[in-house]
Chains A and B, each alone.
Chain A
Amino acid sequence: MKIVIENVGKTFTSAKKEQVTALEDINFSIDEKEFVVLVGPSGCGKSTLLNIVGGLLSPSSGSVYFEGMMDKEPNLAIVFQEIALFPWRTVYQNVIYGLEEKKVSKQELKEKADFYIDMVGLTEFKDAYPKQLSGGMKQRVGIGRALAVEPDLLLMDEPFSALDAQTRTLMQEELLTIWNRTQLSTLYVTHNIQEAVYLADRVIVLSRHPGQIKSIIDIDLPKMGRGEEQYRDKFERYADEIWQLIRNDAVEALKE
């Protein structure tokens, strides 16, 4: 099974009635158990692309499809930048949201919820409301809610960008650990290059105006422990390579 993004383009009509091309000629695929990271400067349309893949936006051209799925509806889950927990639901009730809609049995629902709440380390806070949690804990619930439906494709839209730097580093480590257990096909959007190199099997670098694929870089590092001393040089080389690709666009973005 793989997810194919084929010739995807997106144009918007701006407030001044001009046609703005946000995305053009986007072609790539995500293999089973692959962690793909989209990285690019602000305004490169990376979130737009993720929304198209997630079925929250229609592309102006091209299509997104699952290949090799045996006549069942593809199952998607999104972890949002805005976290988007239901404030009137407790941690537990948020995590079971997707399962409720799938009409799984009471028993299964409880087992899965407990399993994934434990995985994101929130067993103690099961009955807390989002308001009572810190930013990092909220996003763990967001991740738990997405994992609980055991999606065919997990989409993450800058999930840690609202967190402080320390929490962010810890959450990245934790995400890797969780990912290693679940091995879900993942599309992850970020503007943070270190984060991209740290997490990705493959990094897709986007340029802006219009958003196009500038380069696709395979990260040839072991999945776990990329932060270790022995990989530092290689890690930095990848990061630098990506930064050189993005730099000009980022400078341009700053001027707007």
Chain B
Amino acid sequence: MTVHKQIITNRVAFLEKKVPLYASALGLIGLLVLWEIICSTKIVSPLFLPAPSAIVVTGWDMLISGEITRNLGPSLYRIGLGYTIGSVVGILVGLILGFSKWADAIGTPVVYAIYPIPKIALLPLFVLWLGIGELSKVTIIALGVFFPVVINTFSGVKSVDQILIKAAVTFGSNHFNVIRKVILPGALPMIFAGLKLAAGTSLLLLVAAEMIAAQNGIGSMVLHYGNLMITTKLMVGVLVLSLLGLTFNRLLQWLENKLLPWR
């Protein structure tokens, strides 16, 4: 008589399924190929949808002629300055709101009252107050960055384990050191979540502000070529913006890995 064997196999193997590295490029390449094919068959007019190859060629020309750098410079300045101011102030205010019960009681309702306003709606007001120059655009970006950062920092502070604060105080920390050595590092993962969220917001506000009130910048360039119906150049602007967003995210990711090696 043969012994009947019922072998038990791992029924959750699909959870650990490995996918080859090239798979992540597949979707992107597929989309570009499809796009190129559609354009080369002339189903749609290049006026409405220029081919990827045409965009790259035009982009290269615009790079050589200095048109991209001429517009990218001011954009980088606005977003760089606005983002830095917004996030630094946001982190500071978030730490204070999170740490001091008084500041929390007074400040948090104010933050939540202003938070839901779409910041771009305030641009005309800022132009009125601060003029049409760089200041109004930097301010609107800073403000847009400030809110997600402040709210994330605040909840980051609140999520710091109380026992760590007790430990720090037991070992002699004063309030300032508790904030600097326990609350700030403890809230940092949440702060980074806020910074990433704010990166998207800042890009959006940059383009919107430049479309409404600017002579130069990528946003104004995109709008300009849209008005002239030069779609290829418009798409170059869009490409630059997407690369800008990508770089921004990568930079933040790199910084996060650098600052949070303990995670």
Contacts and interface: CB of A to CB of B under 8 A. Distances in A.
A78 B185 contact: no
B262 A78 contact: no
A89 B186 CA distance: 11
The prevalent SS among residues of B at the interface is helix
Contacts of A101: 171-173, 177
A101 B167 CA distance: 12
B165 to A, nearest CB: 9
A138 to B, nearest CB: 13
B176 to A, nearest CB: 11
A88 B163 contact: no
A145 B185 contact: no
B262 A77 contact: no
A77 B163 contact: no
Contacts, number: 52
A102 B164 contact: no
Given A87-B262, A88-B260, A88-B262, A98 B163 contact: no
Interface residues of A, number: 22
B161 to A, nearest CB: 7
Interface string A100-130: 0110000000000000000000000000011
B50 to A, nearest CB: 49
18 contacts: A55-B170, A56-B169, A56-B170, A76-B170, A78-B166, A80-B163, A84-B161, A84-B166, A86-B168, A88-B188, A89-B262, A98-B171, A98-B172, A129-B261, A129-B262, A145-B171, A149-B171, A149-B172
Given A84-B167, A88-B260, 9 more contacts: A55-B170, A56-B170, A78-B170, A84-B163, A86-B168, A86-B182, A88-B185, A129-B262, A131-B263
